Amino acid sequence: MTLLSRTEEMLLLMVCKLQDEAYGMQIRNEVKSLTGKLYSIGGIYVPLDRLVAKGFLEMQDIEASGDRLGRPRRRFTITAEGIQVLKETRQIEQSMWELPDAVMKKMKLA
């Protein structure tokens, strides 16, 4: 099975979260505001393209408006495979986080 990297997981979740607004720039801004990690403008597409190549995302260039002076924007949408792999990842993480009670107690104390 595929194990997503943290970046991949984060980007997939962002795309889900932004839904119809999941354009490159918006994803970049969202990543910045949530995690503080700042991609360069060209750089954000590198991991996104990789996810597209893996089949977890689909992309679509859309006629644009507003500040873009008529330039298209690229919208990403998650595929069924993408959702599947996210679920699997969450399951694994959850199962990993199932810690014995003794440890949980210690963690609370700390």
Partner 1 sequence: MNDRKTRIPWLGIQLLKMLVPEENLSLIIGDFEEYLAEEEQEKGRVAVLLMFWVQILKSVPAFMIQSLRFRILIFNHAIHMAVRNMKRHFSDALLNLIGLSVGIAGFLIIMMYVQDELSYDQFHQKSERIHRVLDFRKVNDIGEESASAPTPLAERMILDYPDQIQAVVRFFNFQAPTLALASYSELGEIRQFNEPRLYFVDGEIFDVFDFKLKQGNQESALSGPNKIVLTADMAAKYFDKKDPIGKTLRFEDKTDFVVSGVLEPPPSNTHLKFDFLVSFETLDNPIVMRERLRTSWIWNPCWTYLLLKPGVSPEVLERQFPTFVAKHFPESRRGRVKLYLQPLEAIHLHSNLDYEMSPNSSMIYVRIFVAIAVFILLISCINFVNLVTARANRRFAEIGIRKILGSSRTQLIWQLIHESFFLSFVALCLALILVWLAIPYVNELTAKDLVFSPLQNPWVLKWLIITYLGVSVVSGIYPAFYIADIQPIQAIKGRVLKGAANGISLRQCLVVGQFGLSMLLIIGTLVAFTQFDYLQKRQLGFKPEQVLLLPTLRSPIMGHYEALKADLLQNTSIVSLTTVEDVPGMRHQTGGYKTADGTEQQFARLIVHDDFARTLGVELVTGRDFSHEFGTDAEESIVVNEEMINQLGWGTPENALGKVLNDAKVIGVVKDFHFSSLHHPIGPFVLERVYNDARSLSFSARYIAIRMETKEIAETLGFIEGKWKSLVPNAPFEYKFLDNMLNSQYKAESTLSTLVAIFCSLSLLIACMGLYGLASFAARQRLKEVGIRKVMGASVTNLVLMLSSSFLKLVGLAVLIAWPVAYFLLNEWLQEFAYRIDINVWPFLTSGLLGFFVVFITVSFQALKVSLVNPVHTLRNE
User: Distances in Å between the alpha carbon of 37 and those of 21, 44, 98?
Assistant: 20, 11, 29
Q: Which stretch binds partner 1 (CB under 8 A): 60-68, 77-85, 86-94, 101-109?
A: 60-68
DSSP class of residue 16 equals H
Query: By CB under 8 A, is residue 25 in contact with partner 1?
Result: yes
Among 20, 33, 69, 103, binds partner 1 (CB under 8 A): 69
Query: By CB under 8 A, is residue 36 in contact with partner 1?
Result: no
What distance in Å separates the CA atoms of residue 97 and residue 81, rounded to the nearest whole number? 24
What tokens does 33 get?
A: 């505001």
Q: Which is nearer to partner 1, 40 or 95 (CB)?
A: 40
Among 3, 5, 43, 60, binds partner 1 (CB under 8 A): 43
Beta bridge partners of 74: 61
